[in-house]
Structure 1
Amino acid sequence: MTTATAHTTRPDPVAITDMTGEAQAALLQQFPPRKPAACWPATTWSREEIIDRMPLPRRGQDGSHKWSTRRRGAVAILTWLENFPGSTWQERWQASPAPSLDPAEWMSTGTAWTDRQGRPVSSAKRSELASGKLILFAYDIIRPELPWLVAMRPSLHLRTAVADHRDPEGFAKLAGLLGEEVWASTNAATAQSQIIRIMIAKGGGIDDITVGDCLELRLIEHDVRHKGSVHTHFYSWLRQLGIFPEDAPVSLRLRNLRPGQLTVEQLVDRFRLRSRPVRNLIVDYLKERQPSVDYSTLQNLSRALAHNFWADLERHHPGIDSIDLPADVATAWKERFRTITKHRKQPDGSVIESTKPRISYISVLMLIRAFYLDLAQWAAEDPARWGPWAVRCPISADETRTAKHEKQRQSRSRRRTRERLPVLPTLVDFVTKRLHDARARLEALQQAEPGEEFTVLGETFIKPKSSAARITRFTRSAWDQQGRRRNLTQDEHRAFWAWAAVEFLRHTGVRIEEMLEISHHSITQYQLPSTGEIVPLLQIAPSKTDEERALLVSPELADVLSTIVWRVRDRTGAIPLVASFDDRERLWNPPLPLLFQWESAGRRWPVSPASIRKALNEALLATGLIDENGKPLCFQPHDFRRIFVTDAIANGMPPHIAQIICGHKDINTTMGYNAIYPHDAIEAHRAFIARRRALRPAEEYRTPTTEEWDQFLGHFEKRKLSIGICGRAFGTPCIHEHACIRCSLLRPDPAQRARLTEIRDNLLARITEAEREGWLGEIEGLEVSLAGAQDKLAQLDAEKTRQRTIDLGMPTFSNLAGRTGSSPQPGFSPR
């Protein structure tokens, strides 16, 4: 007999991705179920020995009718089995038609049982046969196979009989481990039936059950009942008893086991690539990259190359087997991958197809471009291995530029933050009130008597008269006014974790995976060297950046932590150890006293990210908040992180301190989380102007007198000259002593070109006269004036050339500046 202690040697770890096929065989090989025994003492007893072992109370004594019925049914079944060949009752059972029949059908034909000569062998009623079957199973006379037992309807009497006759100490130990409330629940009845089935089919007691037995039962239940979910509480309870080896699976929860890390081949083969050479190339490439990346990155890389890239090409270009893509094939793939197509089914049965841009488009292009460039580089180092695959990359560097993509992402992020930050107080108040109301309903349910009608918060409920929990004070549900059965315990559970998540995330700004990994060990304290004051700290375990950090616990956060600690403690006052699953690395973490854990029918589970998101969505839907499109407002856990950074910086926290608190490696990431509001930019600009004015002399900002203002306006009137306008600043002297033709500040007027030409010709004539008369002192000054006149003419020519090149019908600055009156000038005609 195989037991938990006599376990086979563990083979190399095999990743389990599904309970079918190769994964199922690998797990069963690691933890094989016990093989049914061919013979055991009880099945060799004679009919008289079996009957003698059955108690026969006196007439009128309690239970006398029950045991009489059981004896008659057992005798009828044994009489029928004697007609089949075999030296033991088990062999006769196997030779009979019973194992091939449905249990209900076999019981229905009991009155028609005959011997070999066709004579009736039983006149027992159906109820008597059922009771007799119960005794034969409980006394270990017959061991039906698990599929037959799974198809049989569970019975409270069967559970009681097997528990009393097989292993009363084991069941008492299990009940003490779980506690009275759990042991009296509906889930406990289901789990007890599953344990009973294993004991009937395999023999032995609770301590003899193996991991393989539990796994075999779970697989058979799924196949026989054809349901997606099968209760696995029984496995968790048995694991808590310590009867399984340390390397036993943490859980058999749901159809899919928590998958471990897949091999590179398994990662690629998920997408069923047809081209074997390309499949092998991708496998070799991933193995080459594997030592330098984490498992999450390896998963994303395999999905990008095998699924997003090559599987799509094989779908649209059957028979393709070369990564040297023609230009049209590469372009068509990029166009397909740029968008995502969604199909939504409408109430009338029609399907609406919609497309939207793919957010991960640039990042996937970068991974595929890196794939081609790596092959080209490795080909130079190892031509024999990588040389045949060194081809032109179909993705250019310009196509992977992320500047525009990053701006769009930051814009979406900041828009979400600006939309959600104002409604955060509303959400906080609502989840707090929702938790208070849920607790009030649950307390009223627990205080009510069975069948009693009670009213709480304006709602009327009726407590069920008979609870499936069999203990009224543990009743979890009630009937509301609409006749619906509401699980008030589940309502309180979801309301609490929605409140805890909102409060924790908004006070810490941590990532959701960091929040769910917070344990009791994370709460510590620190003594300030300067004052000796002791302050509480919260240690954040390494997650995305692999860096541990500590956060100061505010009084509000301390209240939240104390409430969570009080809730998750067990009956002894300690926080139970729970093994959590790292979804990024696909590995089970060691058991820790996690704060975010919950109990379900005697087993402890870490709160999952999906549960947090579901609780948040339910709370937001109940608030009635809507977004800018009129749809229900949704919060992602990461939104609280962006809100935390925005609120902290807006209230004066230096960005580099916010960077340390958030655990960012780059301060630009922190600033990207900071959603800047328009009024923030205006106020910051006004504050800058105020600071700049404070640094300048105060007399510069005094109110000018009437004389000073007239002098200032008169300056602009005096700037008007005969051939243009002077650009001299107010209060500055003329540097050329009013020799304007020489001054660089003179802006010539195009209307005065003829006058400038006349001045130039006059200067030329005067220079000729000075040279003739020998006035050498005049020549130098005249040449300076001539150079200034020629420069002004050149400026007018250049301006005229610019205006003549392209006429877009747009007014020039001179035209705009000249329109100082409401009536047009004489001779002015608009274009």
Structure 2
Amino acid sequence: METTVERATASDTLMTVRAFYLDLAQWALDEPSRWGPWAVPCPVRAADVQHRKMKSRQKARMDQRTQERLPVLPALIEAVDRNRKAAAARLAAAKRARPGELFTAGGQTLRRAALKRHSPHPWAEDPATGRRRNLAREESNSFWGWAAVEVLRMTGIRIEELSEVSHHSLVQYRLPSTGEVVPLVQIAPSKSDEERLLVVSPGLADVLSAIICRVRTADGGVPLVIAYDHDEKVWNPPLPLLFQRKIGLEDRPIPIDGIRTLLQDALAATGFTDPTGKPLHFAPHDFRRIFTTDAVMNGMPPHIAQLILGHRDISTTMGYKAVYPEEAINGHRAFIARRRDLGPSEEYRSPTAEEWEEFLGHFERRKVALGACGRAYGTSCIHEHSCIRCPLLRVTPTQCPRLVEIRDNLIDRIAEAEREGWAGEAEGLKVSLAAANAKPAQLDNLITHRTTAVHLGMPAFPDIAGRHVTAEARLPTGSNELGQSKDGPQ
């Protein structure tokens, strides 16, 4: 059956047509004899295809999908896990029941089917409708759908990377500083041809452990399976892939289309709908966008998210991150609150006499023996009036001898504290001595900066005006700038 896809805009079709004509022109340059007769001017002009608007609309659609699906993700995870456990309970109850016997498990009442031919899988039928169900297949589909959802949402990897995760991909790294062992999952190169390592969180470790326990054989090893690479059109060597299951007597890998089907079946069983009432559709790439948005919104630096996702350009990573109205509203409200705290409570109000005296007194109280304190109005001293340590102290050049006396006094006091065994006193005095030694250097830099001027070679206005007046003063009466009289050359 053919499936129809609704066309979003006509720009997509115009882009496809333009790309086809441009490809023909390029092929004609490479092979003129073959493609030359077909190369014609493109009927779609570059101005007809608005790339910026198309990208903006595409980003808006992606953000809309993420905004609709991220709030549903916790409920989706719970529903998928609940369906997995219910399917496992029905399978276990069916194995205990005899043919024709009713059993209740996973919220359903079924009857163990009596088969005319032997089957390795337990079948059950609905007592009301008589429809038969393969409970083993239902349990398998529920488990692998749950596993796909969990791995995709906790790693943000692509679906083709998910199908290539093997038992060999699980590695560990020992931190040189503490010796702690960090579990990692190695992602094989796919779209960007770059291999990367992801940290295995405790939740992801539980999911991977459940997968390995399911596919592991009696001897404890993961079976080797051969997968077909649809991009390279080759069969890959045997690998212990994690996403595999037994079909009959043979272990086979779960292909990419199979993973998509398992995801859709698992999502359909949850019964979630979108705002229009249609079943909520999750594409595998939606989990990648949700992972990026959740990571960046919770404080992960964008360049770290870029490395985790395997993007070559950080703009691609930020394109995956959806901006929420709540995020914009909270940021705007925080900006308004900061402006309100910094601004006066009552604008355009004349200060009272007491307020004016307090304001002037602030600057009077900033005067100290060595110079002046540079702290802002309305702030208290953060160094408890230990001015020699404060970086806001502005030393007056005339107070350099006093600064030398303070430094010599500190040296004497440190020697006395060390002689008497006052280790705490000596430690505090050494901090003050270090600050006192830095003050002369700061003062010298300030004096040098104020007295040194750099000539940029640009004439100032007084120089230009003086030169113009002097030149006119040297000209004789009735002459122009070339030394000629108004009546002609002399």
Letter in 2 for 1:604: D
Letter in 2 for 1:368: F
Letter in 2 for 1:631: K
Is 2:284 aligned against 1:637?
A: yes
Hey, what does 1:320 align to over in structure 2? none
Quick one: structure 1 residues 453 and 359, their matched pair in 2 at CA, closer, same or farther if it must change by over 3 Å?
A: farther
Do the aligned residues in 1 keep the contact of 2:18 with 2:42 (CA within 8 Å)? no
Letter in 2 for 1:405: M
Hey, what does 1:374 align to over in structure 2? 26
Rounded Cα–Cα distance in structure 1 between residues aligned with 2:146 and 2:180: 31
Q: Which has the larger radius of gyration?
A: 1
Where does the alignment leave 5 or more consecutive residues of structure 2 unmatched? 353-490
Is 2:293 aligned against 1:610?
A: no
Q: How does 1:486-505 map to 2 (within 5 A)?
A: 486-505=133-152
Hey, what does 1:574 align to over in structure 2? 221
Rounded Cα–Cα distance in structure 2 between residues aligned with 1:683 and 1:420: 21
Q: How does 1:6-85 map to 2 (within 5 A)?
A: none
Letter in 1 for 2:168: H
Q: Secondary structure at the match of 1:478?
A: strand
Q: Secondary structure at the match of 1:525?
A: strand
C-alpha distance after superposition, 1:747-772 (max 9, x if no partner): xxxxxxxxxxxxxxxxxxxxxxxxxx
Rounded Cα–Cα distance in structure 1 between residues aligned with 2:62 and 2:290: 10
Q: Secondary structure at the match of 1:535?
A: strand
C-alpha distance after superposition, 1:81-129 (max 9, x if no partner): xxxxxxxxxxxxxxxxxxxxxxxxxxxxxxxxxxxxxxxxxxxxxxxxx
Hey, what does 1:701 align to over in structure 2? 344
Greater CA deviation, 576-585 or 389-398? 389-398
Hey, what does 1:431 align to over in structure 2? 80
Aligned partner (choices 34, 37, 52) of residue 403 of structure 1: 52
Q: CA deviation at 1:448?
A: 1.9
Q: Secondary structure at the match of 2:124?
A: strand
Do the aligned residues in 2 keep the contact of 1:341 with 1:355 (CA within 8 Å)? no
C-alpha distance after superposition, 1:255-280 (max 9, x if no partner): xxxxxxxxxxxxxxxxxxxxxxxxxx
Hey, what does 1:620 align to over in structure 2? 267
Is 2:169 aligned against 1:522?
A: yes
RCO comparison, higher one (Cα < 8 Å, 6+): 2
Is 2:133 aligned against 1:481?
A: no
Hey, what does 2:462 align to over in structure 1? none
Q: CA deviation at 1:514?
A: 0.5
Q: CA deviation at 1:598?
A: 0.6
Q: Secondary structure at the match of 2:154?
A: helix
Do the aligned residues in 2 keep the contact of 1:578 with 1:593 (CA within 8 Å)? yes
Q: Secondary structure at the match of 1:507?
A: helix
Q: CA deviation at 1:342?
A: 4.8
Do the aligned residues in 2 keep the contact of 1:444 with 1:456 (CA within 8 Å)? yes
Q: Secondary structure at the match of 1:551?
A: strand
Q: Secondary structure at the match of 1:701?
A: coil
Do the aligned residues in 2 keep the contact of 1:362 with 1:402 (CA within 8 Å)? no
Rounded Cα–Cα distance in structure 1 between residues aligned with 2:329 and 2:99: 65
Hey, what does 1:151 align to over in structure 2? none
Rounded Cα–Cα distance in structure 2 between residues aligned with 1:543 and 1:360: 26
The CA RMSD measured in Å over matched residues stands at 2.8
Rounded Cα–Cα distance in structure 2 between residues aligned with 1:369 and 1:388: 13
Rounded Cα–Cα distance in structure 1 between residues aligned with 2:186 and 2:121: 39
Letter in 1 for 2:67: R
Identity rate, percent: 51
Quick one: structure 1 residues 375 and 342, their matched pair in 2 at CA, closer, same or farther if it must change by over 3 Å?
A: closer
Q: CA deviation at 1:476?
A: 1.8
Q: CA deviation at 1:684?
A: 2.2
Q: CA deviation at 1:661?
A: 0.6
Rounded Cα–Cα distance in structure 1 between residues aligned with 2:209 and 2:259: 19
Letter in 2 for 1:570: T
Q: Secondary structure at the match of 2:117?
A: coil
Aligned partner (choices 648, 657, 677) of residue 295 of structure 2: 648
Hey, what does 1:361 align to over in structure 2? 13
Do the aligned residues in 2 keep the contact of 1:376 with 1:391 (CA within 8 Å)? no
Quick one: structure 1 residues 432 and 377, their matched pair in 2 at CA, closer, same or farther if it must change by over 3 Å?
A: same
Is 2:107 aligned against 1:461?
A: no
Q: CA deviation at 1:631?
A: 0.9
Q: CA deviation at 1:533?
A: 1.3
Rounded Cα–Cα distance in structure 1 between residues aligned with 2:305 and 2:15: 27
Do the aligned residues in 1 keep the contact of 2:121 with 2:134 (CA within 8 Å)? no
Q: How does 1:694-773 map to 2 (within 5 A)?
A: 700-703=343-346, 707-708=350-351
Hey, what does 1:678 align to over in structure 2? 325
Rounded Cα–Cα distance in structure 1 between residues aligned with 2:104 and 2:207: 30
Greater CA deviation, 661-670 or 585-594? 585-594
Q: Secondary structure at the match of 1:395?
A: coil
Do the aligned residues in 2 keep the contact of 1:527 with 1:533 (CA within 8 Å)? yes
C-alpha distance after superposition, 1:420-472 (max 9, x if no partner): 011111110001110111111111111223343323245333323456336xx
Rounded Cα–Cα distance in structure 2 between residues aligned with 1:550 and 1:458: 41
Rounded Cα–Cα distance in structure 1 between residues aligned with 2:108 and 2:181: 47
C-alpha distance after superposition, 1:713-746 (max 9, x if no partner): xxxxxxxxxxxxxxxxxxxxxxxxxxxxxxxxxx
Q: CA deviation at 1:377?
A: 4.6
Rounded Cα–Cα distance in structure 2 between residues aligned with 1:487 and 1:376: 57
Q: CA deviation at 1:586?
A: 2.6
Is 2:315 aligned against 1:668?
A: yes
Quick one: structure 1 residues 590 and 399, their matched pair in 2 at CA, closer, same or farther if it must change by over 3 Å?
A: farther
Do the aligned residues in 1 keep the contact of 2:29 with 2:36 (CA within 8 Å)? no
How many residues are matched? 350
Q: Secondary structure at the match of 1:486?
A: strand
Letter in 2 for 1:445: A
Q: CA deviation at 1:498?
A: 1.0
Rounded Cα–Cα distance in structure 2 between residues aligned with 1:383 and 1:421: 52
Hey, what does 1:422 align to over in structure 2? 71
Quick one: structure 1 residues 691 and 518, their matched pair in 2 at CA, closer, same or farther if it must change by over 3 Å?
A: farther
Q: How does 1:105-124 map to 2 (within 5 A)?
A: none
Quick one: structure 1 residues 359 and 631, their matched pair in 2 at CA, closer, same or farther if it must change by over 3 Å?
A: farther
Rounded Cα–Cα distance in structure 2 between residues aligned with 1:580 and 1:411: 37
Hey, what does 1:586 align to over in structure 2? 233
Quick one: structure 1 residues 388 and 518, their matched pair in 2 at CA, closer, same or farther if it must change by over 3 Å?
A: same
Rounded Cα–Cα distance in structure 1 between residues aligned with 2:72 and 2:344: 43
Quick one: structure 1 residues 579 and 599, their matched pair in 2 at CA, closer, same or farther if it must change by over 3 Å?
A: same
Rounded Cα–Cα distance in structure 1 between residues aligned with 2:35 and 2:99: 76
Q: CA deviation at 1:681?
A: 1.3
Quick one: structure 1 residues 626 and 667, their matched pair in 2 at CA, closer, same or farther if it must change by over 3 Å?
A: same
Hey, what does 2:98 align to over in structure 1? 449
Q: How does 1:243-392 map to 2 (within 5 A)?
A: 342=4, 357=9, 360-375=12-27, 377-378=29-30, 391-392=40-41
Greater CA deviation, 674-683 or 367-376? 367-376
Letter in 2 for 1:477: W
TM superposition score normalised by structure 1: 0.40
Do the aligned residues in 1 keep the contact of 2:227 with 2:238 (CA within 8 Å)? yes
Hey, what does 1:797 align to over in structure 2? none
Rounded Cα–Cα distance in structure 2 between residues aligned with 1:373 and 1:691: 58
Q: Secondary structure at the match of 2:110?
A: strand
Letter in 2 for 1:426: A
Q: CA deviation at 1:367?
A: 2.8
Do the aligned residues in 2 keep the contact of 1:446 with 1:475 (CA within 8 Å)? no
Q: CA deviation at 1:628?
A: 2.1
Hey, what does 1:163 align to over in structure 2? none
Q: CA deviation at 1:686?
A: 3.6
